[in-house]
Structure 1
Amino acid sequence: MIALFAGSLLSVTLGVALVQSSLLLLITAATLDTPPGLGAAERMEFSDNVTAAVSMLGLILGMATFLAGFIISSTFAFTVAQRRRDFALLRLVGAGRGQVRLRLLREAVLLGGLGAALGVPTGLLVMAAQAALMRHQGFVPPGFEGEWRPWILAVSFGTGIALALAGAMVAAHRAARVRPLEALRDTGTAARVMTATRWTAGLIFFGGALALVIVAPVGGPGGGAAMAMNVPLPAAIAAAALSPLVVPLLGRLLPTGSGVIGALARANLWDARRRSASVAAPLIVLVALVIGTAAAGASITDAGITELRRQTQADLVVTATGPVGPAITAVPGVASASTELSIPATVVTDDESSSASALVIDPAAYARAHSLSQPASALPARADSAGPAAGSPAARSDSVSPAASGGLAVRADSAGLAALRGRAVAVGPGGEIPSSGSIRLALPDLDLGSVPVVASVPATISGGANLLLPAGLVPERLLAAAPAQSFVTLEPGASADTVRAALGRIGTVTDADDWLRADAAARSEVNNKIMVAVMGLGALYALIGVVNSIVIGAAARRREFAAARVGGLTRGQVLRAALLESSAVTAAGILLGCLAAAGALIAAARTTSAVTGTATVTLPWTLIGAVCAVALLVTGATSLITSWSATRPAPITLLAARE
C-alpha cells in the first residue's frame, strides 16, 4: 500500500515541479528588460531572441502540462485498479458507492497537496537546470535565471490538487460502480479493461491525429510543419488508450521461449492486461513524442535543404560585411552576383507589432540567384548547375509551380520583383507578412512609417527572410555593419581559383555546395537544440513515469511471486519470468509508440510533397536506437530490482499474511 501512495505522490511532485519551473521561466523571459548600452540593431536582436525564447518556453509549458496530466491520471487509475479488492471489502461491510468515491477524491486532494508541497522546492531545482540548459544552448543571455514569484505557490498547489483530482475522478467513478463480488473474483465489470471511457478517448484522439495528417499539406510550409510535429500528441494518447487490446497480443507474439518461464511470462501478459497497459502507456508517449517530433523535424529540415539546393543558382558564396556587391561584380570572371544584406526589422500590421528579418537586395540579381524566373519543374537538380540562358522560355516564365508555393499561385518572377523599388517592400520566403496592402516598418534607429507591399516570393519550407527591401530604402549607415551573403555566378571559361583568390580579399569564399552543407548543419544544430530544450525534461519525466508504473505493479505482486515459488519455481526463475514479461511489455510499448510516431512522418511526407513537389522522409536512426536501448535498459533494471525486493521474504510468510 505504501508503494501505491508513494508512486502517486511522486508523479504529482514531479508534474508540479515541471509545470512550475516552465511557468516561472516563461514569465521571467517575457518580462526581461533590455540591457543598457545596446545599439539599435543589438536591441532588435535582443528582442528577437527574447521572443524566440518565450515561444519555446510556451511550448515547454504546454508539453509539461500535457505530460503531467497524462502521467498523473494514468498513475492514479493504475493505483485505484490495484486496490479494487480493498474497495470491494469496504462495500461488503456496508460502505456505499458515494462513500468509496468520496474517499478516493479525499485521498487525491491529500496527495495533490503533499505533492505540491514537495513539488515547489523540487521545481526550483528543475528551474535551475532548465535555465542552465537554455543558457548553454544560447537561447537566453548569460546570467539568465528564473525569478521566484510568491503567487506561484497558489498556482503550484492548485495545479497539484487539480491534476490529482482530474486523475482520480474517472478511476473513482469506475471503482464505485464495480460490484463487490466481481471485484473480489476479478470477473465481470471488474475484469473489463477496455471501458467506454477508454474507447471514447482512444477513438476521439485517433480521429484528431488523422485529421492533422489529412490537413497538414493544406497548411503550407509553416502550418503544415507545425501540424506534422503535433501529430504525436493525439496519436500517443490514442495508442495508450487502446493499448490494453494491443499490448498483450504484441507481447505474446514476441519470442519468449517455450519453457516454463516463457509460458509464465505469456500468461501474465494476457491475464494482467491492465498492468501491462499501465507500464506501456508512458512508454508509448515517450517514444511517440521523442521519435515522432524528431523524425518530422528532420524530414522537414532535409526537405528545406533539398529545396534550397535546387533553387540556389551560384558557383561561389561570399560571406562579408556591408554592401560589397559592387566590389564583387567588379572582379574579373564574375558574371553576376546577388548580394543580400541582413537587417533586423519591426513590422506593425493591424496594430500588432512583431519582429521580422529583412534582406536588402537587388531584385533582378536576387531573382536570378534563387531561380525565381522559372518554374520549379524546370529547376536543375544541383545548385552548381548553370541557370537558364537569358531570354530563354524558362527565364521569361512568370509563374512558379504550385508544388513550390504550397499549392498557391504566387507572383515570384523577376517581373514581379521589378516593382520592388523606392518606398516599397516584398514578402520574402519566410512569409508571415501580408502579401498586399501596406505595413508599418521600423529599422534600427529609423521609422519608415507606412510602406506598401508590392510583390512576394513563394514561402519555402526552409524559411528565410520575412521581408525583401530595395537598396535605396535603407540608409548606407545601417548597411555598413550588416552581414552580407553574395551568391556569385562565374563567367564561362573563368578560372575558379583566380576568381576565388580575388574574392577572398573581400570576404570568406565558399563553394556553393559547401555553403549549403554548412547552412544545413547550422539549421540542424538549431533544431536539435530546440528539440533538447522542449523534449528533454519531458522525456525524462515520462521515463520516470515508466519506472513508477513498474514499481507500483511489482508492489502488488508479492503474493503472486510467492505462489509461483511455492508451486516449484526457484527465485531465479521468478526473476527471469518477470524480466521477460517486462521486456515484452517494453517492446510492445516501443512498437506502439513508433506507430504513433509514424503518423508524424506521414504528415511530414505529405507536407513536403505538397510544398516542394517531393515527399521527404528522414529517420533519425541513432535517436531511435538510443530511445529503444534506454527504454529496455531502464525497464529491465527496474523490473529486476523490484522483483528481487518483492521475493526477498519467504514465500510461506507472504501467503500466510492477510495482505
Structure 2
Amino acid sequence: MLRLSWAGFRERWTLFIGAALTVCLGVALVQSSLLLLLSAVTLEPPAGTSAVDRMRFDEANGASAALISVTLGFAALFAVFIISSTFAFTVEQRRRDMALLRLVGAGRRHVRRLMLGEAVLLGAIGAVAGVPAGQAVMAAQSALLVRLGFLPEGFAGQWRGWIPFASIGVGVVLAVVSVLVAARRAARVRPLAALRDTGEAARVMTAGRWVSGLVFGAGAIVLAALAPVGGAVGGQAMALNVSICAAIALAMLGPVLVSLLTRLVPGAGVLGMLAKANVRDNVRRSASTAAPLILLVGLLLGQAGASSSFATAGHEELRRTTKAGLVVESIGPGDGRLSGVPGVLDVSTETSMPVAVTTTSGKAVNTRIMSALVIDPAAYGRVHPGGSELPGLRAGAVVAGPGASGYSPGDRIGVRIGDTDLGPQPVVAAVPTAIGGGAALLLATGTLPAGLLAGAPSRTFVTLDPRADRSRVTAALAAAGTVSELDDWLTRDGANRSATSTRILLVVMGVAGLYALVGVVNAVVIAAATRRREFAAARATGLTRRQVVRMALAESSIVTFLGLLLGLVAAAGTYAGVLATTAAVTGTATLDLPWRLIAAVAVSAFLVTGLTSVLTSWSATRGQPVALLGAQE
C-alpha cells in the first residue's frame, strides 16, 4: 500500500503539495514558538544584577513568557485546524478515485490503508521540511519580540536536540489524525454512490461536524453570557475566547451556512449566476476555502477589537478615577521634595516596586513576581476616590491593588521585595479591580527602607492651590522630575496602552495570521487544480477562456465575501462580551473597533484570493478543451 500511496502522490502532486505545505508551515510555526518559550523561561539576568533589578527582570520575563505561551497556543490552533481542513479537503477531492478502487476489488480496509499511507508520506515530507523552516521563523519571531521591547537585546531562541524528532512526530500525527476521519467516511460510501454523487456521498454535513459546530457555538454563547460576571480579569479572558469558539463553530457549520448565504448574494449576468451555482453545487469545496478565512478574520478582528476596547476602557476609567492637576514622574519617592513647593495643596506619590507574592491553596504553594505600589493611604484615597482612604493599610499589612488576582481581604500572603522578606502579611482591604489592570499590591510608606526605594520609578499626583501661579509651580516641580498636565499624562498613558495592545496583537497573531492566509491561498490552489475537466467542459459549451477565468474569479469573490462575513460574525461575539464586561466593571459599555484593520483585512483577502484564483484558473485552462476532456482525470 505504501508503494501505491507513493505512486498516487507522484501522479497527483499538484493536489498533495498543498497538504505537505500546510504541515511544513504548521510544524515550523509551532516549533518556533515552543523553542522561544523554552528560551524565555530559562533566560537569566546579566551578571551583577541587584536583587530588586533581578525581580524586575523576572517580572518582565514572566510577562514575555506568558505572551509567547499565548502565541504558541494560537500557532497550535491554526496548525491543527488548517492541516486537518486541508487534508480532509484533499481526501474529498479524491472520492471518485476511491470509488474506482472499490469497484476493481479493493476493500474498505485497503482504501483506509492507502489514505493513511499517503498521510504518513505527506506528514513526513512536510515535517522534515518544517524543521529547517522553523529556524527561519524563530529568527524572525525573536527579532520581532526584541524590536517591540518584549525581550532584551541580544536574545535568541536556543536550539534543543530533541526538537527534530518531536516536530516530525507531531507533523506525521497531525496528518494521520486529520485523514483518519475523512478516510473512514470515504471508505463507508458505496462506490456507485460516490461516482454518481448521490446518497451518502452527497451529504455535506457529517454527524461529527454537526456536533462540533453546535458544541463550540454553545461554548461561545456561554462565554459571552458569563463575561460580565467574570470581573476585570476573568471577564476579559472569557470575552477574548468567544471569537475562538465562534470561529471554529462557524467553520464546522460552513457547508450549511455557505449554501444558505450564497442564495442571498446577487448574481449579475450569466457568469455571476454560474458562479453562484458552482458555489452552491460544490459546497464542500467552497466551505473548505472559506474555513481558514473564517478562522483568520474571526480571531484577528476579535482579538484586535477586544484589545483596543479594553485599552480604551482602561484609559477612560483612569481618567474618571484620578483627581489631580499635575503629574511629576521621577526616580524615588517625591513627597518630601514636592509638598513644600509654594502653591501645592496636596501630593500623592506612588512608587513602583516588584514584589514576590506567595499564596497557598491546601498544600500547593505558588510564588509570582508582580508589581506593587508604595503609597500614603490617605493621599492615595484623595487622588483615587474610588479606593477610599484605606485606613487599614499600615506597616505589617497589605491591600489588594487594582490588578490583584488570586487573593482577597482576609487572606495571608508572603511578600518579598529583593532581599527584604516581609514575611506573611494580612490582606486587610482591596481597592476596586480595574479593567486596565494595575498594581497587584498596595504597601504603606514606611514599610520598606528608604534606600530600597531610592532607585524606583514613581509618579506624584499634585493638587494645586487655585490661586497659585501655575507656571511658577510647574517650574519649581520640574527640579524633581518630569512635569505633565494631568490631561496630557492621561493622553500619553492611553497612547501607551493602545501601542502595547497593538504590539501584543502583532506578536500573537502576526505569524499565525500569515499562516492562515497561506491556508486560504492553498485551498484556492487545490480547488482549481482539480477542476481542469470542469473548466474544459465549460469552454466546450461556449465559454471563452477569459470568461471561465472571470467565472472562477466571481466564485472566489463570493466565497471570500462569505468567509469575511462569517468571520465578522465570530468577532462580533467577542465584541458583545467586551461591551458586557466593560459595562459591568466600569459602568460604561466601551467598544473601540479597529476600522483600518478591518478594511485592510477585507481588501487584502479579496486581493489575495482573487489573484490566486485568476492565476490558478488561467493555468488550469491551458490547452484545448477537447484534449483536456479526453485526458485521464
TM-score by length of 1: 0.92
Q: 1:427 aligns with which of 386, 400, 403?
A: 400
Partners of 2:568 and 2:500 lie apart in 1 by: 24
Secondary structure (helix, strand or coil) at the match of 1:473 reads coil
Partners of 2:71 and 2:101 lie apart in 1 by: 43
Note the C-alpha offset of 1:200.
0.9
Contact 1:104 1:172 in 2 (8 A): yes
Aligned to 1:598: 572
Q: 1:251 aligns with which of 246, 259, 262?
A: 262
Larger deviation, residues 246-255 vs 28-37: 246-255
Aligned to 1:92: 103
Partners of 1:485 and 1:256 lie apart in 2 by: 62
Residue identity in the other structure for 1:434: Y
Residue identity in the other structure for 1:551: V
Partners of 1:266 and 1:360 lie apart in 2 by: 65
Partners of 1:266 and 1:437 lie apart in 2 by: 63
Matches within 5 A, 1:306-325: 306-325=316-335
Residue identity in the other structure for 2:61: V
Matches within 5 A, 1:523-538: 523-538=497-512
1:497 aligns with 2:471: yes
Q: 2:203 aligns with which of 192, 198, 211?
A: 192
Larger deviation, residues 550-559 vs 316-325: 316-325
Note the C-alpha offset of 1:433.
4.9
Aligned to 1:512: 486
1:10 aligns with 2:21: yes
Q: 2:160 aligns with which of 149, 155, 170?
A: 149
Q: 1:627 aligns with which of 574, 577, 601?
A: 601
Matches within 5 A, 1:137-286: 137-257=148-268, 259-286=269-296
Partners of 2:405 and 2:119 lie apart in 1 by: 46
Q: 1:119 aligns with which of 120, 130, 135?
A: 130
1:366 aligns with 2:380: yes
Partners of 2:263 and 2:514 lie apart in 1 by: 28
1:130 aligns with 2:106: no
Secondary structure (helix, strand or coil) at the match of 1:253 reads coil
Residue identity in the other structure for 1:570: T
Residue identity in the other structure for 1:284: I
1:331 aligns with 2:331: no
Note the C-alpha offset of 1:603.
0.7
Partners of 2:215 and 2:260 lie apart in 1 by: 23
Residue identity in the other structure for 1:371: P
1:413 aligns with 2:394: no
Note the C-alpha offset of 1:251.
3.2
Note the C-alpha offset of 1:501.
2.0
Partners of 2:406 and 2:259 lie apart in 1 by: 51
Contact 2:243 2:302 in 1 (8 A): yes
Contact 1:427 1:433 in 2 (8 A): no
Partners of 1:584 and 1:454 lie apart in 2 by: 60
Partners of 1:658 and 1:456 lie apart in 2 by: 75
Aligned to 2:542: 568
TM-score by length of 2: 0.96
Aligned to 1:441: 415
Partners of 1:85 and 1:361 lie apart in 2 by: 74
CA deviation string 1:393-447 (max 9, x = no partner): xxxxxxxxxxxxxxxxxxx422xx1121122211111112522232221112322
Note the C-alpha offset of 1:451.
2.2
Secondary structure (helix, strand or coil) at the match of 2:358 reads strand
Contact 2:395 2:443 in 1 (8 A): no
Residue identity in the other structure for 1:191: A
Contact 1:315 1:488 in 2 (8 A): yes
Partners of 1:433 and 1:471 lie apart in 2 by: 24
Partners of 1:174 and 1:63 lie apart in 2 by: 29
Q: 1:192–1:586: structure 2 CA closer, same or farther, 3 Å change rule?
A: same
Residue identity in the other structure for 1:368: R
Aligned to 2:454: 480
Partners of 2:143 and 2:267 lie apart in 1 by: 44
Residue identity in the other structure for 1:370: H
Partners of 2:265 and 2:273 lie apart in 1 by: 12
Partners of 2:584 and 2:173 lie apart in 1 by: 43
1:45 aligns with 2:20: no
Aligned to 1:68: 79
Partners of 1:287 and 1:598 lie apart in 2 by: 11
Q: 1:303 aligns with which of 308, 313, 332?
A: 313
Note the C-alpha offset of 1:180.
0.8
Residue identity in the other structure for 2:568: C
Partners of 2:543 and 2:593 lie apart in 1 by: 44
Aligned to 2:5: none
Secondary structure (helix, strand or coil) at the match of 1:465 reads coil
Aligned to 1:103: 114
Partners of 1:241 and 1:614 lie apart in 2 by: 35
Aligned to 2:371: 357
Partners of 1:429 and 1:41 lie apart in 2 by: 22
Contact 2:399 2:442 in 1 (8 A): yes
1:607 aligns with 2:607: no
Q: 1:433–1:340: structure 2 CA closer, same or farther, 3 Å change rule?
A: farther
CA RMSD of aligned residues (A): 1.2
Aligned to 1:397: none
Note the C-alpha offset of 1:305.
1.1
Partners of 1:434 and 1:8 lie apart in 2 by: 48
Partners of 2:108 and 2:515 lie apart in 1 by: 34
Secondary structure (helix, strand or coil) at the match of 1:203 reads helix
Note the C-alpha offset of 1:119.
0.8
CA deviation string 1:554-599 (max 9, x = no partner): 0011011111111111111111111111011101100000000000
CA deviation string 1:206-253 (max 9, x = no partner): 011111111111111011101111111111110001111122333342
Residue identity in the other structure for 1:182: A
Note the C-alpha offset of 1:492.
2.8
Note the C-alpha offset of 1:460.
0.8
State, as a whole percentage, how many aligned pairs show the same letter: 57
Partners of 1:126 and 1:506 lie apart in 2 by: 46
**Uncovered stretches (5+) of structure 1, i.e. residues with no partner:** 373-411
Note the C-alpha offset of 1:183.
0.8
Residue identity in the other structure for 2:462: V
CA deviation string 1:35-76 (max 9, x = no partner): 202122221111112111111111111111111110011001
Contact 1:225 1:604 in 2 (8 A): yes
Secondary structure (helix, strand or coil) at the match of 1:472 reads coil
Larger deviation, residues 347-356 vs 635-644: 347-356
Secondary structure (helix, strand or coil) at the match of 1:70 reads helix
Q: 1:459 aligns with which of 425, 433, 438?
A: 433
Secondary structure (helix, strand or coil) at the match of 1:353 reads strand
Note the C-alpha offset of 1:304.
1.0
